[in-house]
Amino acid sequence: MNERDSEHMIAELQEKENYELTSDSTEADLILINTCSVRERPVHKLFSELGAFNKKKKENAKIGVCGCTASHLGKEIIKRAPYVDFVLGARNVSKITEVLHKPKAVEIDIDYDESQFAFSEFRGSQHKAYINISIGCDKSCTFCIVPKTRGDEISIPTDLILKECERATQAGVQEIFLLGQNVNNYGRRFSGEHEKVNFTELLRRISAIEKVKRIRFTSPHPFHMDDEFIDEFASNPKICKSMHMPLQSGSSEILKMMKRGYSKEWFLERAAKLRLMVPNVSISTDIIVAFPGESDKDFEETLDVMRQVRFEQVYSFKYSPRPLTEAAEMSNVVESELGSERLAYLQGLQNSITDEITAGYVGEIFEVMFEETREGGYIAGRSDNNVMIKVQADESLLGTFAKVKVTKNGRMAQIGEILA
């Protein structure tokens, strides 16, 4: 989502202010840092990076801090780094060309409604288009700062999304990647009068656009994975067969404390249904270890879910207390060292699961869309079910599809050869 916000800002600056991109910050007239505040570490990194950019920047070059950390620290950023020219929150992206001309502006209103703002066009990739379908987040997960930095959830009007899909595919894009904090909660609230369109219906309408070849989305919420949604996912050939199912914890007790809205049993049942209906599906997840009150037994429940579901990919984090969240007030904290031990154990378990899964890929044939070049004369892309595969081939194949047979396996990318 941050990447897409950056693309929006780049587009507005190119179109309305004649800026061009540079990869050399010492040449830049404007340096924007787009921040995340989901965990604490990136927030610390912000101030060291700001200092480094400030030292090396061209005279009179402006520095702006954008994104979630901008939303929650606001003017504090200018207090700590007085050379910062403006602060622009994650909910105020469309105001980039305004704050540029307002010295020391701090625009961080989380009630600002930019769900109908028509951004200018810029895409980092020619083949894949990120498209936002909602702003904000209506959940109240007790560990998460996002609702406090991105505000309430508002769906972007369906016709705007469809138009964006049309434009992107006219320009050569094959894959549409839908973005939102809870994509499958789409349609819950629009800012004006709007026909009732839920996520499943949105998927149907996007897939009706002829030039759309593939549809991906992130993140869906396990709570909203109803049968209608899973049926559409299983039966619509344009929807890529890879599902992100953020588990967070395998303990129903901890899930309650996190206010996730589902239990261990619900999660397992949904995952089993997916595996049954879509045999080649790949399921990825997010897990937090050492949430306040997490006992050895709770942690064991998480490992149990991992062993049962056998996720293709796991993004795992040690719980990080965040300001403005309920969990930050909880007193039963898990010691940091124990948290690190649990994280290491969990990652070890997942590595062995991943190794077993990827070993099974050798000899399999996948349809890959090539997206990028890799060192050593390789080009790489993903299969429909999200297996990253690289082959020795010419760049001219970027943006095309091919059947690829995997010849050698690795944890991060498989090596394969194109079938004639």
Enter the DSSP assignment of 237.
T
396/370 Cα distance (integer angstroms)? 10
Residue 266 touching ligand SAH (CB under 6 A): no
Shortest Å, Cβ 243 to ligand SAH:
12
Q: Which of 98, 201, 286, 341 forms a contact with ligand SAH (CB under 6 A)? A: 286
Shortest Å, Cβ 33 to ligand SAH:
19
Q: Before 219, cis peptide (omega within 30)?
A: yes
15/295 Cα distance (integer angstroms)? 54
Residue 188 touching ligand SAH (CB under 6 A): no
Nearest to 294 by CA among 354, 349, 241, 335: 335
DSSP string, 310-324: --SEEEEEE----TT
Q: Which two tokens stand for residue 206?
A: 């996007």
Range in contact with ligand SAH (rule: CB under 6 A) among 27-35, 267-275, 317-325, 380-388: 317-325
Q: Which of 144, 203, 206, 305 forms a contact with ligand SAH (CB under 6 A)? A: 144
Residue 219 touching ligand SAH (CB under 6 A): yes
Residue 246 touching ligand SAH (CB under 6 A): yes
Range in contact with ligand SAH (rule: CB under 6 A) among 126-134, 141-149, 374-382, 406-414: 141-149
Q: Is 196 exposed, middle or buried (0-12, 13-18, 19+ CB in 10 A)?
A: exposed
Shortest Å, Cβ 317 to ligand SAH:
4
Nearer to ligand SAH (CB atom), residue 200 or residue 219: 219
Max Cα–Cα distance, the chain, nearest Å: 62
Radius of gyration of the chain (CA): 22
Residue 152 touching ligand SAH (CB under 6 A): no
Shortest Å, Cβ 321 to ligand SAH:
7
Q: Which of 6, 181, 350, 386 forms a contact with ligand SAH (CB under 6 A)? A: 181
Nearer to ligand SAH (CB atom), residue 261 or residue 410: 261
What is the chain's percent helix, strand, coil content, to nearest 5? 40, 20, 40
Residue 322 touching ligand SAH (CB under 6 A): yes
Query: Segment 343-402, which members bind ligand SAH (CB under 6 A)?
Result: none
Q: Which two tokens stand for residue 387?
A: 């297996």
Shortest Å, Cβ 145 to ligand SAH:
7
- Asked if residues 162 and 117 have their Cβ atoms less than 8 Å apart, the reply is no
Nearer to ligand SAH (CB atom), residue 181 or residue 200: 181
Helix axes 336-359, 296-309, angle to 10 degrees: 10
DSSP string, 212-226: --EEEEE---GGG--
Binding site for ligand SAH (CB under 6 A): 38-39, 137, 143-144, 146, 181, 219, 221, 246, 248, 286, 288, 317, 319-320, 322
